[in-house]
Amino acid sequence: MALPKALQEQDFKSTTTGMLSERLIVSCLALCALTTVLITVGIIYMLISQSVGFFSSDQITLREFVTGTEWTALQSKQLQQSKFGILPLLSGTLRVTTVAMLIALPLGLITAIYLSEFASPWIRSWLKPTLEIIAGVPTVVFGYFAILVISPSLQWFSGGGFATFNATSAGIAVGILCLPMVCSLSEDAMRAVPNSLREGAYGLGCTPYETAVKVVVPAAFSGIVSAFLLAFSRAIGETMIVALAAGTLPTFSADPTRQAQTMTGFIVEMIKSENEYGTVQHFSLYAVAVTLFAITFLMTLLGQMIRRRFQESYE
């Protein structure tokens, strides 16, 4: 039988144009990838150049900024009377974040274990969308939820031990916000654990619970830690909930029942305030923002280190 006509004619398309368009496409892809780098560099440049306006002032020393226990950038009109010590804002952020993590990490991890190892497909099919609904709720709604529901409940349970605006209410709301993230990332990590390990565990006489806790969770450890660190960064950076529910008084304390202004909360307050652009008070918000950025950056680095240290290679 003769070759088909198309093969007899040997009329091939030109390869040079193919090569050219190939190069063009790769360049376009690289350019798009570069955008994220440019944006990051731009943000870092903006933060640093603006915070220079703060740190170059005669009134400010870096030492006072790092170790000072009073922050009165908004409270006093005169620059001479203002105190710029970051610790009150840092302690506010830490109080809220700690409460948030106490809610999000255990609850998120336990839910993830249940979803990944135990839940029937039917239960998964409605539990996962429910979690995704939480993830989709605007944070401003959580802020009001904290003020209108969580705070009164805490006051009722404790017999008035909590202030109306307090770190715990805001922290619980932030924790609920972070819950779907912890849960879904941890669950992804656990579902990525090969089934051969589960079979191995069952083959050694593990119960399903023992399999989950002694084999699957340790095998997914690096992914779970990444989930925790991402949630931590998310909680530190959360703004709307704390601006609404945590209060506006920067205090250097560890008491979660009182008001706490967080770093993000302060930035919002400062932008809303009458302090004009160019004043040292205004520039202080960039100094706070740099601190915030540094913390989340360190978290990301830590996350990568842990991932590299604990990541197991399966074929």
Partner 1 sequence: MPLSSTTDTTPTDPQSQRGRTLIRIQNFNAWYGDFQALQDLTLDIPRHQVTAFIGPSGCGKSTLLKWINRMNDLTPGARAKGGISLLSDRPDEQTVDVDILDPNVDVVKLRRKIGIVFQKPNPFPKSIFDNVAFGPRLHLKTTKSELDELVEWALQKAAVWDEVKDRLQGPALGLSGGQQQRLCIARAIAMGPEVLLMDEPCSALDPASTLAIEDLMFELRSQYTIVVVTHNMQQASRCSDRTAFFFEGRLIESGETRKMFTNPDKNQTDDYVRGKFG
| Interface residues toward partner 1, by CB under 8 A | 194, 196-207, 210, 214-215, 218-219, 312-315
CA distances from 112 to 116, 122, 187, 189 (A): 6, 16, 5, 9
d(CA 285, CA 283): 5
Q: How far is the CB of 232 from partner 1 (least distance, A)?
A: 24
- The tokens for 63 are 């030492």
Q: Which is nearer to partner 1, 219 or 267 (CB)?
A: 219
Least distance from C-beta 111 to partner 1, angstroms? 23
Maximum CA pair distance of the chain?
99
In the bound complex, what is the minimum distance in angstroms from residue 219's beta carbon to partner 1? 5
Residue number, 17 or 120, with CB nearest to partner 1: 120
Query: Which CB sits closer to partner 1, 106 or 218?
Result: 218
Q: How far is the CB of 190 from partner 1 (least distance, A)?
A: 13
Q: Is 284 helix (H, G, I), strand (E, B) or coil?
A: helix
Q: Choose between 91 and 116: whose C-beta lies nearer to partner 1.
A: 116
- The distance in angstroms from the start CA to the end CA of the chain is 47
Nearer CB in complex with partner 1: 188/269: 188
Closest-CA residue to 51 (of 287, 270, 291): 287
Q: How far is the CB of 112 from partner 1 (least distance, A)?
A: 18
- Least separation in angstroms between residue 304's CB and partner 1 is 19
Structure tokens at 305: 């280190």
Pick from 295, 192, 186: which is nearest to 236 by CA?
295
- Buried b / exposed e across 87-97, counting CB within 10 Å, b at 16+? bbbbbbbbbbb
Cα–Cα distance for residue pair 9/23, rounded to 1 Å: 29
**Shortest Cβ distance from residue 212 to partner 1 (Å)?**
13
Task: State the virtual CA torsion across 145, 149, 150, 156 in degrees, nearest 10.
Answer: 170
Cβ atoms 288, 263 nearer than 8 A: yes
Nearer to partner 1, 210 or 255 (CB): 210
Q: Which pair of structure tokens corresponds to residue 257? A: 């029942």
Are 91 and 260 in contact, with CB atoms under 8 Å apart?
A: yes
Residue 313 CB partners (closer than 8 Å, separation 6+): none
Q: Select 59 or 196, whichever has its Cβ closest to partner 1.
A: 196
CB of residue 121 to partner 1, shortest distance in Å: 10
Q: Which CB, 102 or 197, lies closer to partner 1?
A: 197
